[in-house]
Structures are given as C-alpha cells and as structure tokens.
Structure 1
Amino acid sequence: MTPYRAPDWLPGGHAQTIYPLLIKPAPRSYRRQRWETPDGDFIDVDWADPPTASVSADSMPLLVLFHGLEGSSRSHYAITLMSACTAIGWTGVVVHFRGCSGEINRLPRAYHSGDSTEIDWILQRLQQLFPARPRYAVGVSLGGNALLKWLGERQGNAANFLRAAAAISAPFDLGVSGHQLACGLNRIYTHHFLQTLKRKAAEKLRRHPGLFDAQRMRAASCLHEFDDVVTAPLHGFASADDYWRRASSKPWLTAIRLPTLLLNARNDPFLPAQALPAASQTAASVQAEFPQQGGHVGFVSGRLPGRLDWLPQRILHFFRNEVRDV
C-alpha cells in the first residue's frame, strides 16, 4: 500500500489533527448492546454490521475498536473504520470505555490509559461469543496505549484472542505526552478534553459525595492536575506521575508477540518524535510506521476538501496481509 503523504494544502501537525473534524462523515447507524461488567458496572458496545449477510458470516472477521480519550463510536476514525470494514463484509464493534457512550457509568471509577484489565475481559468475552471468527483489534490514542500494554502483558497468549492488532497515534510515554499537551498551542487540546472530563467528574461527585476534592478538580488547568486529583486516585494510583509511569505502554513493546502495527506521525502534537520507540524498544512482531506527517489520528489525503480513507485502508491492508485466506 502507498505510504502516507500529507496533501500540500494541509501543512503542519495541528491542521492535520483538527481538519478531520471539519470533514467528519455523517454518523452511521449502529446496533447497541449493554454489557454488565464483572464488578457490577456496565459498558456499551456499538455493532457495525455488513450491509448484506454472508453465507459464511460465522467465519468472517470481527474488528474491535478501542477509542481514544473522550472518544466514541461517533468519532471520525470510528465512523470511517467501521464503514470500511463492513464494506468488505467484516463485522465491526466499537467498545465504549466506561462513561463514554453518552451515559455515565455506575461506579466511582471510569477509564484510564493503562486499563489493560478492562481490555482483557472484553477480548475474552468476544472470544467466547465468536470462537470461530478471526478477530482483530485497533486501539486509537488512549485506546492504543491500553491495547499495547495488554499485548505486552499477555505476550504469546494474546494469539488466543486476536490474529493481529494495530495502535494508531498511541501516546507510548504518558509522562512525555501529558506534559507536551500542557505546552503552547497544544493547550487547545487539553482545554477540549477538560471540558468533558470535568463535566463527567462533577456528575461522579454528585452521585458519590466526597469522592475527591471538588475545588481542585474545577481548578485543574492541565491533564496532570486533573489526573492527580481524579484519574489516579479513582483507579488505584498514588499520583498522576505514578499513573503515567505505570500505565505507559512503551516498556511493554518488547514483550509483544502478536503481529502488531504501530502508526504514529512524527508531527503528532500529542507526542514529540523523540519519544517514539526505537527499533530496539519493540519486538520483532511489531511493525512500526512513523511517517513525517499526519498529525494526531489525522492522515487526511487527496485534493480539497480531502478524504479520511487512507487510515482505515492502511489498517485493513495490514490485517488482511496477516491472514491470506480472508
């Protein structure tokens, strides 16, 4: 497949990150299911079914997507990837992390960048539901980091659940990424995330009084401050620094045994190029592609007004090369 090249009319990492929101496809229809979690909570999963049922549907691949921070099945990358996979007869499913489907979850906890335990039970359930179907997983940004951490922890056992995986624009080093988002123009992304994170945190506090310091939460002006008062304590970490260190996927990349694609642009505003893993920091099963351009989950292509089809086609090309009979 042709390597990614950004269009000349869309220069720079910020433009390549933000522009996809302006040409985002119309929301697609999904079939929603609610799954009860082992700890008494719930998640919502949105299914994308092929337009026509195939006689061999029980053996056709299943693609599962883990979205990014405050993402959902309505995110531009989810819409384009689900449309691309159903167009070739695959079934897609977008797994919403807790509280991201439009309804706040029941428990005080929510989700975080290193929640490989959550990834594990979801993939186990999919394996039980569809044991005969080839299964592939894609993680985007936060979801990519969590998926990579799971792959490293599971090592060779991951092959019992997946044929291959892909991580797109994953923030491998959460400390570097978190501080990067607090600098310069990158603060526009932080402001965007904090708007919804604080709104959800306020609702958590209303349901669970005394859960954390409301004043500190409202005053948080960067992700480090928010994670220090909310994310870290709610998920068993001592501090934001402890959370970022323990949840980062970079130390786990050498342990991955499943065929895995890493796709990150070197001009991604969320992660400086010098923080991308070197070849010595990844396993032989990991295929790293770090194009110069693309932004954060951008990868716009074509003439004005541009298209968002390069990324889903790259992902599907990688997966289909991993299983020749599909």
Structure 2
Amino acid sequence: MLSLDVGWDVLGVYLENQVSVGLQGSSVGLALALGFGAAYACYYLTSIAKKPKLITGGKKFYEFLRDHCPVVTETYYPPFWCWESRAQTLLRPFVTAKPWVTYRNELIRAPDGGQISLDWFDNDSSSSHPDPPSRPTVLLLPGLTGTSRESYILHMVQQSRELGYRCVVFNNRGVSGEKLLTPRTYCAANTEDLEMVIEHVRKTNPAAPIMAAGVSMGGHRPVLEKNYDIDHVMKAKTIREFDERFTSIMFGYPTNDDYYRDASPIHKLKSVQVPMLCLNAADDVFSPSHAIPIEVVKQNPNLALLITCHGGHIGFLEGLWPRQSTYMDRVFRQFAKAVIEQGGRLNNLQ
C-alpha cells in the first residue's frame, strides 16, 4: 500500500507539472500568434492598403474626378488573405457572385458578310430614366474571348441597372455562340466592328447619351480551316505563338511585332478627344507598372489614369469577403454616373 500511495503522489506531481508546462506553452503560442497578427496588420496597413495614384493630363479633369468620383481618392483595401496579383487574377471569377441578367440579343450584319452579336439590357423598369428613347446607354466591351456572361460584365450591368441606365454588350465575332459566317474573328488593333456597333447604337437611340466601358483586351473551325492551318494554330502554347500563327496573319500584318506595335494603345493616346478614365493595377500580370504610359497621359487633358498598388488583372477584390462587388465596380459606377449626369463639366478640358 505504501508503494501505491507513493506512486499516486509521483503521478500527481507529474501531471501537475505537465499541466503547468502545457499552460505555459499555450501562453507562448498565443503570444506568438498575437504578435504575428499585429505584425501582419501593421504590414498590411502600411504596405498593402494604400490610396491609388491619380494621374491626369489637366487640372480640370482631376477636379472633376475628385468632386464626382470620390473612390479615386479613397484607400483601396484588398482582402488581407488575397492581395497578391496572381491570386487576385485567378480567384476573382470564382469568388464574386454572378448577378442574374436577362438579355435581348441582336445580330447585325457587317459589310464583309460577317455578323456581330449584341446583348441588350433595356432596363425598362428604370425609375430614374423611365423614357426609353432618352435613357442613357452604356456600351460594354468584354476582354479577350470574353462575352456578356463574364462575371465582371454582369456586375457592370448590375451597377448600370441600379443607376437606371440601359446596357449593350459588344461580343466579338465568334465568341458568344453565334455562327461565324466569314473566316475572320477579331484582333486588338482592328476597330472596324466596334465603330460599326457604335454607329448602330447611336442610330437606335439617337436621343440617348452614350458612354463606353472596356475591360482588358473562338470561333467555329469549319469556317476558319478553309484559310488557316488550325491544327498548327491550336498547338500554340503562348499568346505570342497564337498571334504569330493566326491573328497577325488574319489581319495582314507582315510580322507579329507589327501587329503588337499597331495594337499598343500608347501610340493612340495622344489623339484621344473624349474624356477617358483608365484603371490599372501596378501589379497587373499582363500590364505591369513599367508598361503604363504615364508621361503620355500627362500630355492629354482628356486622359486620366488611376493606378492601384494591388489588384492583379481585372481582379480588384476588396473587403473581407468580396462576394458582391469589387473596387473596379465602384470606379465604374461612380465614373459612369458622373459622365452621364455631370458630363457638362467635361466640355473644353483644354
């Protein structure tokens, strides 16, 4: 019995020591976690969450944006768990919800025999602009291979719906399910189809103010293989290889570099005569900070450039859980409203 009593005493002392060590370990772990959290919060607030840079070609445009688009002077807070450029770019389509939008489709014929698909959101329930002929129209231009069903387009339609505006989405040839009638799709340098669409939209609602918003920059094989080696094209592993084998050939460029030179907006910015706001993240994986033509923007009073430190390519996620809208959506909403309702202040920006 004596040995048993001693055994229990020893066991009790051992357990007491273990509990004490465990509590001390938990305290150390908690302190480390709190310290790391505080350090990360400090890093986030000083290095990640920052106000964007607003660059304009003139004082008048700067003051217009400052007065009517307060988002351009506010701090952009990307999610603390997702601010890296590639993560923002890849996760946006999966994180943000897709608003439900019902379109009215219209196919218009191009001079070369091809057809272009337009998806209209008429917004007939608009209370702020109940008169259809004068209801403001927002022309939306999706990015590369994008259509009216892209999440970022649906959010822009949703923002326009809440403002009471009409939307029309320009789908490039062969990407939205319509039949490709000619062996021609589209490229970043050719604007013939867009010019035709703008003229069509103007004639459809001549009394309605119109503005355009574009994001970033497929077809049917039986038509294209008559003119191109599609098997060779589909083996391309990079965008450059695809353009070399397909796009630059389709539009008659001597070399792929000639196509890229003609497609680059830097050569066209000086001639912009309509007030234009451009949003770009400094960490954009396709258009990084060193490629942004800041000095060219400063030379044209019709141009404004908003640069965020983070956001990736068409990412711009913000807040704790960016399910409903992004920083880009807020910029679009405020700028669209300012242009349509306060556009008179943009006259004579020289």
Which residue does 1:157 correspond to in 2?
Answer: none
Match in the other structure for 1:47: 120
Q: Secondary structure at the match of 1:295?
A: coil
What residue in structure 1 maps to residue 101 of structure 2?
Answer: 28
Residue number in structure 1 paired with 2:51:
none
Structure-2 separation of matches of 1:249 and 1:56: 37
Q: Retained in 2: the 8 A contact 1:29–1:48? A: yes
CA distance in 1 between counterparts of 2:212 and 2:322 reads 30
Q: Does 1:13 align with 2:122?
A: no
Structure 1: how far apart are the matches of 2:266 and 2:105? 33
Give the secondary structure class of the aligned counterpart of 2:281. Answer: coil
8 A contact 1:20–1:300 mirrored in 2: yes
Q: Normalising by structure 2, what TM-score? A: 0.71
Q: Is the 8 A contact 1:43 1:105 kept in 2?
A: no
How far residue 210 of structure 1 moved from its aligned partner, in angstroms, is 4.5
Indicate conservation of the 8 Å contact 1:66/1:94, yes or no.
yes
Task: Check if 1:216 corresponds to 2:232.
Answer: yes
| Letter aligned with residue 212 of structure 2 | A
Shift of residue 290, structure 1, vs aligned partner: 0.8
1:310 aligns with 2:311: no
1:97 paired residue among 154, 159, 172? 172
Q: Which residue of 2 aligns with 1:70?
A: 145
Q: Give the deviation of 1:319 after TM superposition.
A: 2.6
Partner of 2:135: 60
CA distance in 1, matches of 2:86, 2:324: 17
Q: Residues 244-323 of structure 1 correspond to what in structure 2 (within 5 A)? A: 244-281=260-297, 282-323=299-340
The CA deviation string for residues 189-232 of structure 1, in whole angstroms up to 9 with x for no partner, is: xxxxxxxx5xx4xx43x335441234431321111111111111
Structure 1 residues 214, 62: CA separation in 2 closer, same or farther (over 3 Å shift)? closer
1:191-202 equivalences under 5 Å are 197=218, 200=219
Query: Relative contact order (alpha carbons < 8 A, sep ≥ 6): 1 or 2 greater?
Result: 2
**Root-mean-square deviation over aligned CA pairs:** 1.9
Instruction: Note the C-alpha offset of 1:51.
Output: 5.6
Q: In the aligned structure 2, how far is the partner of 1:58 from the partner of 1:258?
A: 23
- Contact 2:124–2:132 (Cα < 8 Å) also in 1: no
Computing the radius of gyration over CA atoms, which structure comes out larger, 1 or 2?
2
- Kept in 2, the 8 Å contact 1:41–1:106? The answer is yes
Structure 2 residue aligned with 1:84, among 146, 159, 162?
A: 159
Partner Cα separation in structure 1 for residue 290 and residue 342 of structure 2? 38
Deviation of residue 267 (structure 1)?
A: 0.7
TM-score by length of 1: 0.76
Do the aligned partners of residues 95 and 323 (structure 1) sit closer, same or farther apart at CA in structure 2, a change above 3 Å counting?
closer
- CA deviations 1:31-78 (Å, max 9, x no partner) are 111111122111111111326154333222100011111100111110
User: How far off its partner does 1:86 sit?
Assistant: 1.0
Could you say what secondary structure the match of 1:290 adopts?
strand
Name the CA distance, whole Å, in 2 between partners of 1:6 and 1:70: 26
1:152 match: none
Percent same amino acid among aligned pairs?
Answer: 28
Structure 1: gaps (5+ residues): 143-196
Matches within 5 A, 1:231-242: 231-242=247-258
SS at match of 2:152: helix
- Please say if residues 12 and 293 of structure 1, whose CA atoms lie closer than 8 Å, have aligned partners that are also in contact: yes
Structure 1 Cα separation of the partners of residues 80 and 114 of structure 2: 47
The CA distance in 1 between the partners of 2:270 and 2:264, in whole Å, is 13
2:271 partner letter: A
Moved more, 74-83 or 242-251: 242-251
Distance in 1 separating the partners of 2:136 and 2:166: 7
CA distance in 2 between counterparts of 1:214 and 1:123 reads 32
Q: Deviation string for 1:255-276 (max 9, x for gaps)?
A: 1111100101011111221000
1:20 touches 1:308 (CA, 8 Å); kept in 2?
Answer: no
